[in-house]
């Protein structure tokens, strides 16, 4: 029983971390109909920023707050430089730009770190062990009506009409990237507390799994992204706990097999809505 609780808590922990990244994916998609392929790399860069700030001797709370702030500024800069100039360009152009930003961040991180794994700072408050139901786990595991919120929902529903009604589209989009980047930064704090070694490609797999979670729940649906993330996190840890050798080999395969199944049987995801074509 204690082992089952431990597996469940680990799954909830990982799922929560995926959820923070997945929300960023789904928010941007809801506004721009864009899969921000650079989002996982922003998550990785946030972890590296925290490492380098730690080496400056700053207090840990200041380090983490600055890491979140710099990540938010990075997300804002990416939107302004890489996406805003392509606002009226074909969607394929914006997607290629997103892929380019992803590789730019990875290669910059490789240049700065030399490609060597970097050790994330220990956060005592999150690394503290607690006991729940007889199972020990770290504390990190336990852990819509505003004006801008209404504007975001309006833009997501109808981009052109929102412009005609006086909604400042660029401000709404920038706010979306700021919120998504902040959530990615918080997710990196939780994730790299559990998995403390960071490489330039460390954001690729969590980013892909968060994307799968967003698709599974219904891309564009925040509740769907959260539920999808928790389901993937829990299922992954159940697979790891299976009593046969090599079970962990199939963890990543399960995630992407789930994506294929969802796309085949329910392309819009659990909570996605069918798009209505305008004539």
Task: Decide: 275 and 231 in contact? Cβ < 8 Å.
Answer: no
Task: Decide: 239 and 10 in contact? Cβ < 8 Å.
Answer: no
pLDDT of 209 strictly over 50: yes
Least confident interval from 146-155, 205-214, 269-278: 146-155
Segment 71-84 shows an average pLDDT of 92
pLDDT of 71 strictly over 90: yes
C-alpha to C-alpha distance for 112 and 90, rounded to whole angstroms = 33
Share of the chain above pLDDT 70, in %: 79
Segment 20-24 shows an average pLDDT of 86
What pTM was estimated for this model as a whole?
Answer: 0.79
pLDDT value at residue 145: 47
Spatial CA neighbour of 6 closest among 173, 177, 114, 138: 138
Least confident interval from 165-169, 187-191, 212-216, 274-278: 274-278
pLDDT in tens, 38-53: 999 999 999 999 999 9
- Other C-beta atoms closer than 10 Å to the C-beta of 222 total 18
Report phi then psi at 235, rounded to 5: -65, -40
135 forms beta bridges with 132
Confidence of residue 144 (pLDDT cuts 50, 70, 90): very low
Q: What is the DSSP letter of 8?
A: H
pLDDT of 148 strictly over 80: no
Go through the chain and tell me how many residues it has: 279
């Amino acid at each position: 029983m204690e082992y089952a609780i431990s597996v469940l808590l680990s799954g909830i922990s990982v799922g929560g971390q995926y959820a923070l990244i997945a929300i960023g994916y789904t928010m941007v998609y809801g506004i721009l109909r864009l899969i921000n392929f650079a989002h996982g790399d922003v998550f990785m860069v946030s972890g590296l920023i925290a490492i380098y700030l730690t080496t400056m001797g700053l207090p840990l709370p200041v380090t983490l707050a600055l890491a979140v702030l710099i990540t938010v500024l990075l997300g804002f800069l990416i939107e302004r430089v890489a996406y805003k100039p392509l606002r009226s360009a074909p969607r394929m152009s914006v997607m290629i730009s997103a892929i380019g930003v992803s590789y730019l961040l990875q290669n910059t991180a490789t240049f700065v770190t030399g490609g060597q794994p970097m050790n994330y700072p220990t956060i005592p408050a999150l690394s503290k062990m607690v006991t729940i139901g007889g199972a020990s786990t770290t504390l990190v595991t336990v852990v819509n009506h505003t004006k801008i919120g209404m504007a975001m929902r309006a833009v997501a529903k109808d981009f052109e009409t929102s412009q005609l009604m006086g909604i400042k589209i660029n401000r709404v989009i920038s706010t979306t990237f700021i919120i998504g980047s902040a959530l990615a930064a918080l997710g990196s704090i939780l994730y790299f507390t559990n998995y403390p070694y960071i490489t330039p490609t460390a954001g690729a797999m969590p980013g892909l799994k968060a994307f799968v979670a967003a698709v599974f729940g219904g891309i564009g649906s925040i509740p769907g992204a959260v539920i999808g993330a928790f389901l993937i996190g829990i299922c992954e840890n159940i697979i790891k706990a299976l009593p046969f050798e090599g079970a962990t080999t199939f963890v990543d395969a399960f995630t992407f097999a789930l994506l294929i199944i969802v796309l085949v049987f329910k392309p819009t995801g659990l909570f996605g809505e069918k798009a209505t074509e305008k004539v």
